[in-house]
Amino acid sequence: MAEKSVKVGLVGFGTVGSGVAKILLADADAIAAKTHLRLELACVVDKDTESARPVKLPDGVLTNDLNKLLNNDSIQIGVELVGGTTIAKDIQLKMLAAGKDVVTANKALLAEHGSELYETAYKNNRCIAFEASCAGGIPIISGIRTGLAANNITAMYGIVNGTCNYILSNMTTKGEDFAEVLAQAQQRGFAEADPTLDISGGDSAHKLAILASIAFGCEILLQDVFVEGIGEVSKDDIRFGGEMGYVLKLLAIAQKDGENRISLRVHPSFISKDNHLADVNGSFNAVSIFGTAVGQVMYYGRGAGMMPTASAVVADIIEVALGNSATIFRQLRLKPRNEVEPLINKIDNLVSRFYVRLMVKDQPGVFAEIGRILAENAISISGVLQHEGQGPDNAVPVVITTHPTRQNKVTAALNDLGELNTVCTRPVCIRIVDIPEDKDS
């Protein structure tokens, strides 16, 4: 079988872009041996053509003029690695209009403007491939779209932000505070100088919107996802939760119930220390998926970084060049917004177990008051933890875990509890997520 030559143009010569260039330049022969495709890096566009990069491009490949890519009809695939939702969108639309298939790692853009881009791609008879947008090198999107295609996917639990997982695991193992560990993460390159998008849960929400769209076959928007970040997590709660058998993770959760109602949420979550996701440490990602036929499947690997993400980008380039991406893209038929919107379950309706920590005055009657408020809100206590000894200002931490309860009842109870004179600070509330681990029956 003869080799097929495919020219690739890259926009964005940062970390991931350098990784992609590195693979395309160094491994062209290996890829050709495996795939019969001769991938050629024809053009790299970046406004900065001066800074040193970890890869040396052949002369004439680097340019700051996007038109060199757009107007070169021999370039079949355009890779957008600029990031953000403004210039990047413009670049993708222009590439599609110029007849290029698009490969991208841009989760924010797809989560916010996916439909418009997909529509444009369909109209131009082109495709958009975005394996690298979620969970870096882990081939999770192709896993869902092809490997699990025979399944009705009912739930997905993911650790999809390496920065947050790095921070939470290090807080857990070292017993250190959020700010301290964040600073270390920044120093060691596991957190951005401005970590807001990661810490806030926003990045995880972007990824969840994309993954859930594909898993459920529905047009999911960012606004459908309830989001709480990890900025207020304290080492005390990680420790108390640990004593009760839980590990704290920032989970991205998508669930579909028997009536096709969809819940989408990103928040700090206590999970059983026996769950496989509890062992996902540092900057690693993992996603557990539940399908009607397959049961539980879990994917684990590096969710970010130059080479892992480049691995996914180049995998997409290969799939686009082979024509498979086009087939899969064409058959992706998402249920439209007017049908999806009524199915989205609001967080108030969530039924979950909860971890609640109250800082209370160490005096008689406190438990009676707490008990009364929980009872009034029909909240049943599952476990209680109060260590002997006193904290600062005669305040002691009381930890309560609940049986499954509706979110709005807990919200109401927390308001009432917060108003008690004996409760010193705003109650801390963290959802306990009982992931239904698949086991031998």
Which residues are near a copy of itself by CB under 8 A? 1, 19, 23, 27, 30-31, 33-37, 131, 137-139, 142-143, 146-152, 166, 188, 190, 217, 276, 279, 282-284, 291-302, 305, 307-308, 310-315, 317-319, 322-324, 327-328, 330-331, 333, 438-440
How far does CA 152 lie from the centroid of its chain? 21
Judge whether 437 and 296 are in contact, CB under 8 Å.
yes
The DSSP secondary structure of 45-77, one letter per residue, reads: E-S--SS--SSPPPTT-EES-HHHHHT-TTEEE
Q: What angle do CA 167, 17, 170 make, to 5 degrees?
A: 10
Closer residue to a copy of itself (CB): 66 or 317: 317
- The Cα–Cα gap between 358 and 386 comes to 10
- The Cα–Cα gap between 79 and 65 comes to 15
- Nearest distance, CB of residue 301 and a copy of itself, angstroms: 4
What is the phi/psi pair of residue 113, to 5°? Answer: -130, 25
- Nearest distance, CB of residue 126 and a copy of itself, angstroms: 15
Q: DSSP 3-state assignment of 360?
A: strand
- Nearest distance, CB of residue 225 and a copy of itself, angstroms: 22
- Nearest distance, CB of residue 314 and a copy of itself, angstroms: 3
DSSP-assigned beta bridge partners for residue 285: 301
Closer residue to a copy of itself (CB): 27 or 416: 27
User: Token pair for residue 429?
Assistant: 């509330």
What is the phi/psi pair of residue 17, to 5°? Answer: -55, -40
- Nearest distance, CB of residue 147 and a copy of itself, angstroms: 2
DSSP conformation class of 335: B
Four-point Cα dihedral 412, 414, 420, 425, nearest 10 = -150
- Nearest distance, CB of residue 132 and a copy of itself, angstroms: 10
Q: DSSP 3-state assignment of 414?
A: helix
- The Cα–Cα gap between 382 and 371 comes to 12
Closer residue to a copy of itself (CB): 218 or 423: 218
- Of the residues 207, 249, 256, 409, only one is catalytic, namely 207
Judge whether 132 and 312 are in contact, CB under 8 Å.
yes
Closer residue to a copy of itself (CB): 101 or 319: 319
Closer residue to a copy of itself (CB): 325 or 407: 325
207 is catalytic: yes
Closer residue to a copy of itself (CB): 218 or 414: 218
Catalytic residues: 207
